[in-house]
Structure 1
């Protein structure tokens, strides 16, 4: 079995060593072995646990509650966003499409688009992504309901004054996230149309005179950044949408 130092783990998992030490000492999330000299040693199981901890935290779970979740026990949440996430998860577990659509509609009326995307829908989809079996079905159900609702919202926004734009996924296969980002842009005064199929090589020349947003899901690579500058130098109205 491979053994890693704390520096190796920090680089491999893209996390600060100080954070790893805090997860161990303050929160008891990690239990690395020690060398005779007292240096921490991590194995592949530790790496997997660290990645799972990261996913929980990125989904909006406070670090102090992660240990209970890792043990498989239920955790009482007091954070409003976490409570709404749990409500969505409960509806999904019972496979109630009509109730799910109604809850999404209600949440859309109660909260801002940015907050819902960042603190509810994206975290819930990340949590479902931790399980590749039953959760895949629930995630598919959620994705269908989200896209259905976003299409409704985009149609409504096109009836208002605004600027027309086209959103294209660039090298990112997460179609649901693409629609969520279209919804986000529609709240910024854009009347958005979506190219539903993500592209590896967008061709802005096919859309003359249109303003284009490209969404990669991550920071643009060096190659993508150079390509974007090239398109802009050619006179295309194109920009990267960063969520």
Structure 2
């Protein structure tokens, strides 16, 4: 039977080790064996269980109800992502940066990054962006905290073995989204740096030999696709991300 370390499982399943520890300690979702030195050891059954947990959560089940579902119990499942959105909105209404930072860090430890971006942070930012007054201010507060947290996470990833890359926003306006997409890429083994200011004109020749990712916010135009193909033919390692 194959045995995996928490780092191996995190890379294989696309889940941060901090999240795996939270699933074990706080929610009792995992029961890995331990070495004599106290290190967690996972087998193939553990990996299958982690994948099942991911599927439940991506379908909208809150992490607190996953264990009952795994045990075959009948539970009333509501949209867990909507609950997290409302919890985040509640913290934002108090306009306390310290409490907001704590909330962002807590849900970041317990939930898959892809799901958080797509089902919590982007919907909340879209709701706040519809208001011209107070909600816009709250959105700016949230964006600052998100960028701060993502930068902290990216710094941690850079301390580990991995592949270096630079993420560039191309013709985009949403600066915070660039950081969120960098966070997403970091879960695939990339040690990401971010060109924080989106560009209208790319200059890949300024970054020779580097792996570049470009994010466009909207679907790439025909002109952008043609330009990307030309750069690739010239030997630049440049790859579209997301759209």
Q: Give the equivalent residue in structure 1 for 2:146.
A: 146
Q: Give the equivalent residue in structure 1 for 2:186.
A: 186
Equivalent position SS for 1:78: coil
Task: Please tell me whether residue 224 in structure 1 is matched to residue 224 in structure 2.
Answer: yes
- Count of residues paired in the alignment: 168
Q: Distance in 1 between matches of 2:162 and 2:219?
A: 27
Aligned pairs for 1:2-151 (under 5 A) are 78-151=78-151
Q: Give the equivalent residue in structure 2 for 1:3.
A: none
Q: Distance in 2 between matches of 1:191 and 1:171?
A: 23
State TM-score, norm by structure 2. Answer: 0.68
CA RMSD, aligned part only? 1.3
Equivalent position SS for 1:82: helix
Displacement of 1:78 in angstroms is 3.5
State TM-score, norm by structure 1. Answer: 0.68
Equivalent position SS for 2:95: coil
The structure that has the greater radius of gyration is 1
Displacement of 1:173 in angstroms is 1.3
Displacement of 1:129 in angstroms is 1.1
Unaligned runs of 5+ in 2: 1-59, 61-76
Displacement of 1:96 in angstroms is 1.4
Task: Please tell me whether residue 201 in structure 1 is matched to residue 208 in structure 2.
Answer: no
Where does structure 1 differ by over 6 angstroms across 4 or more consecutive aligned residues? none
Instruction: Summarize deviations over 1:1-44 as a string: whole Å, max 9, x none.
Output: xxxxxxxxxxxxxxxxxxxxxxxxxxxxxxxxxxxxxxxxxxxx
Q: Distance in 2 between matches of 1:127 and 1:152?
A: 26
Q: Distance in 2 between matches of 1:132 and 1:219?
A: 27
Instruction: Summarize deviations over 1:121-163 as a string: whole Å, max 9, x none.
Output: 0110001011111111000000000000000000000011110
Q: Give the equivalent residue in structure 2 for 1:52.
A: none
Q: Distance in 1 between matches of 2:222 and 2:111?
A: 36
Equivalent position SS for 1:184: helix
Which structure has more relative contact order (CA 8 Å, sep 6+)? It is: 2
